Structure 1
Amino acid sequence: MAKLVRFSPFRPTMCVIACRPCPTGTFRNPPMFSPERIARLTPLAASVFAALALMGCASGSKEAAVPNPFIATTASKSTEPHIHELRVFGDSYSDLNFTNSRRTGNWVQNLRGAISTDIVDNYAIGGARAADANYKSFNRQIDTMVARNNNVVADSDLTIVYLGHNDINKAGSPDNLTGARRSYTQGVDRLISMGAANTNSRLFLTQLHDWSRNPGIQSSTHPQVVAWNNYIAGLANAHENVIAVDMYTAFERVFENPGAFGFTNVKTPDSTRSAIDALFNDTTHFGSRGQQIISRVYEHYLTRGWNWANTLSAGASSATRLGSEVDRGILSYASQSPGHTMAQGFNLIPIGALGDNSSSSVASNRFTTPASQGVTNTTSGSAPKGIALNFAGGAGVFGTPGNFGFAYTRNGSEQGLASSDERFLQKFNASASTLYWHQPVSDFLLTTQVSNLRLDFENNARDELLNRNVVNNGTGSTWSFEQKIRRPMGNEFLNFTPWVSFAAQSHKLDPYWAQTLYTTATYYNSSTANDLYSGIGFDLQFAPVRLSSGRKLNFSGGINHSESLRRSSVAVAMTEANQSGLTQRETILRPNVRSTLLGLNASLDYSKKVNFSASYGADLQSVSDTQQINLLANLRF
C-alpha cells in the first residue's frame, strides 16, 4: 500500500487512536462491574481493578524531583535544561568584567543563554588563584558569597569552580601547587558543607586545557597542568555529586586539528579574529570562540546522564506500540471471520499490515508515549510489522473459545531528544517476541501479553561550532506485561467498548563505550528501569454509511486516559577514558506520566484500491501543544 498524501499542519507529537472495536453484542442492563461478573474474572484480570483503585492516588502524587537536577518540565510538557542558581568561582576566564574589557564573549553568559537560568552569581575575579594569595583567591570569593547571605545551596543549583591558571602562572608554581591544592580542597569542602553537592544540586570542578600551549606560557608548565588535572579528578572522585569537567580533551582536539574545527590560528594572539577563526585573543586568554567551546563542554556535562537515561523511553514506546498492533491484528482478523469467531486450529495472521485507517482495524487504545513523558521534540517511525501464529481453541474452562499464540514483529523509529541544544538524534530498531492470550469471559474480553523486545540504537550527535560529528551504536532490551479488560456493547448503529488496563515494563540498556563531542570516550552503564501503568477509556465505532457505487464512509474515535503508578529512578555510571579510575554517577529521577488522549477518525472507501482518511488526535491535558491532524490518501496495488 502506498501512502500518496500526508499533511500534518500541527505539531506531530500524537498517535491518533481509533477505529473499530472488537465483536459486539447488544446493550445490557446489569452493571458492567457487578460482583457476580467480577467473580467470574481470572485473578490476573482482577489485578486491573486494583490498579484502577491506585490510579487516583498516583494522579495526585507526582514525583517532586525533576528528571535530573537541571531538567525542568515546561508548560508544553516537554523537558528542557534549567538551572535555578548558577554560582561561579574563577579567574579572568570567567570574570565578566575582564572579558568585557577585552570585548570577547564570556562562557558564563553563553551558558545562561543556552540553558534557562534563574539567577547567576559570578564571583570570579581576574587574576584569582586557588591558593590563598590575596582578596581574589578562591576562599575569599566564597567569603564574599557568605557575606551576601548566599551560602545555602538549593535544589537545581549548579556551582562551578574554574581555577588553576594563575597558580601555574607563566613559568610554573614555585611550590609545585602545594598551597593551591590545600586551599582548593578547603574551598571545595566549604561548598559541599553548604549543599553544593546535595542530591539535587551539583558541583563542577573544572580541569584546565593544556595551559602550556598558550602563546604567553612556557611549555615547561605542561607537567603541572597534568598534575593539577589529576588532582581535580581525584578530589571529585572522593565525593558524591562532584563532577570533574574535562576541558583538556576538547581543546586538545582543536590544537591537534584546528582546520577541522574552523580555526586557522591556534598559536598566536589575534584579537581582531578571535571571534572568527583565531583561538587566542591575547597571549593568555581565549577569544569568543574559545569561550563558546567552554560553554558547550559544561552543557555536555549537564545533560549527558539524562540523555542516556532518556533512551530507555525508546523501549517503552516500542512496547506500547507493539501491544497495540498485536491486539489490533488478532481482533481485526477475528472480526472479519464468519460470525466474528476464528475457526479452531492454527492461523497465520499478519501484524501491522492493515494500516492505521483501515475500516476493518480495531481501536487499541493502549499506552502511548505522550509528550508529558518529557522525551522527544520530534518522533517518526513505522508501526510494528510481523506475523502471528495463532491457535483458536474450543470452549475450554470459560465456556467460550479463546485465542493464544506467538507473534514476531519489527519496527524502527527516530527521535530528537530534547537536549540542551537539540543536537542529538537517535534512531532505533526493535524486534519483539510476544506471547498473547485473548479470552472472552461472559460479556468481557480479556487480553494478556508478555513481550520481550531487543533494541538496536544509533545515536548521532553534531556540534556545528566544533564541526564535529559522532555516531555511537548500542543495544538494550525491554520486558513488557500487559493486561486489558474490554466490555464490548452496541447495536446496529454503534459499537461502544469501555476498557481498563494495567501494564508493567522493565527496561535495560547494555553498557557500552561512546564517543562524545567534547570529552574522551565515555563508558556508560545504568540500572534497570521499572514502570507500572494503568489506563481507562472507551472506543466508539459507528456503523458504516453506505454511499452510491459501493462506497462507504466510516467514523470512529476513542478516549484513553493513562497514568504511571510507579516509575523507578535510573542510576547512570560514567567513566571517561582519560580518567579510568574515576567513575561519576547520576541518579535520574523519572517524572510520572499522565495523559488523556482523544482520537477522532473518518475514512472513505472510495473504491477497492483507493481510500481517503482523516484523523485528529490530542492530549486533552495539553491540547494546544499536542494536537495533530492527518490527511491520508491510500492506494492499494
Structure 2
Amino acid sequence: MLKKNHWSIPGFTCIAMLSLSACGGSNGHGNLGTPGGAGGSGAGGGGETPVVDFTVPNVYATGVDGYASEIGQLNVFGDSYSDENARNNADYATWAERMVARTGGGSLNSFAKGEASANSTNVYATGPDDEDVNNTLKNQVDLFEAAGSGFAANDLTVIYMGYNDVNKLWKDADRQSALNDYETELNRLIDSGATAGDRKVFLTLIHDWNATPKEVARVEKEMQPGQTCANKGYTVEECSYKRGRTIEWNDRLIEMANANENVIAVDLFTVMERVVADPERFGFVDVTSVGGANAIADDATHLYFDAVHFGGHGQEIVAQVMNHYLTRGWNWANALAAGSEATAQLGADLEEGRLLALSQLTPEQRLGLNSFVMGDTAIESNGYGEGARSSFEAMRGGERKDVGFGLNYAFSNETMMGFAVSNYSNDSNGGSSLQSSRMESESQAFAFYFNTEASGIKLRTVASFSDDNHHRTDHDGLIGATNSTSFGGETMAISQTASLPLQVAGNWFTPWINLSHT
C-alpha cells in the first residue's frame, strides 16, 4: 500500500495569480495542458475531457487523468532499486509498486533482485561456485520465459539495471561485454513479443552513480593529500570517474532504443541531474548524504536512504518519470530519437511543469487539505511529493520573483475551496548613452475561490484583492536631469464563471460565461 500524507502533496499547480480561477478544473487538474479547459474551448477525445491528446496509439493510458491507469502487467527486470524485497525498500514502496497501485487493476511481475548485474556472470561473485553467480539479467529473463505468461496487449516491460556493472567493472572491455549481455537479453524479450503490437519496452537510463553518498565520500577522501586521486594529480572530475562510466552505459542504451521499434530510453539521468543541481526546488534539503529515517517518507527531505539507494521520495520521482513517458511525454517519446532531442524535450517538460506535478495524483490523494505554490518556478519547485514546508521554502528562495502560496481543501473531486497569496515584481531598464529609464513594478494579491459542479455545469467563484505599485525613473544625461514618478492602486474583484464541457463528434468543447465586478 502506498503511504500518503495529504499535507505533503501539493493540491494545485497554477500558472499565475491572474488565472487562479482556472486552477480548480475538473478532477482538480487545474488548467495545465488540459484541452477544453474552462475559459475557452478545446478539442480532445474519449469519454471524459482528456488531459493528454495522444497522437500515437497508447494502450497504457486513457489520457483522461494523466495516469498510466491501463497497464495490464508491469514486467520489471532490475536490481535493488526495483526489488520490493530488498532491505533498502523495507520501509517504502518501490517505483514499480507505486505505478501498479495507480492502475485500474494492473499487476506487478517483478524479477528484480538486489545486486543483480547485466553481466552474464554476477559482478560480485567471487567464483563459479558462488551462490550468486547467476544473479543476472539473463537469469531474470530465463525465469520470465520459464513462467510462460507471455504478453497481453497492454503489458509494459521495464529494464532498470546497470548500477552494479558501472560500480564494479573496472575495465572498459568488461563493461562493453556487460552491455552486450544486456542487449542479448533485450533481444530475447523482443523476440518473445515484448514489443509486438503497441507494447513497449522501457530501457532506464541510470542516474549518476558517482552522485551517491558512497561515491561522494570516496572522492572527498581520495582528493585529500596523500590519497589516491591527489597523488595522481587528478581533478575532482577525474576522480569522479564513475560518472563517465554511467554516461557511457546510458549512451549504449540509447543506441539500443534507437535501433529497435517500440523500445524507449527513459531518461532518469537528466531528471536526477536537475534534482541534484537544485535540491530545494524539488523539496530536498540533502541529496549527497545518508538520510536514514529522514529519507523514508514520500516528501522526505533526504534523497538517499543509505549510501547507495534512494529513499521514498526518490522512488516516487522514478515512478513519476516512468508515468510521464506513458502519459504527457508519450507523443514525443514515441516520435523523437533517444538522445539529445528527447533530452531537450524532457527538460522542457520539467521546466513547464508537465513532470512532477499535480497531474500525477490519484483522486483519493487530491481530497483533503493540500498546499500549492504558483509562479514561474511553482510547478517544478513544488513537484509531487513535496509538502507545505517546502512550498514556503520555494517562496523564500530562488532567483525569480514571481511566487505565490495557497491552501486548497477538496470535499470531493467536484467541490473544493481555498485561498492563495502571491507576489509579482519586475524591473526593466532601457535607454542610450544620453538617456535612460527604469521601471519597477510590484503587485501583491490575495484570492479566495470556491469550485463545485451541478448537473454537469462547473461553477467557479473567485474573490480577489490586489495592491499594485509602479515606480519609474528617467534620466537625461544631456542636461543632467532626473525625474521620478510613482503610481499604483488597489483593486477588488469578484467573478462567477459557469462552464459546460460538451462532447460533439468525438471532440470536446467547453462553452462558458463569466460575470465579474471590479
Query: TM class, shorter-chain normalised?
Result: 0.3 to 0.5
- Which has a greater percent of strand? 1
Q: TM-score, normalised by structure 1?
A: 0.40
- Which has a greater percent of helix? 2
Q: TM-score, normalised by structure 2?
A: 0.48
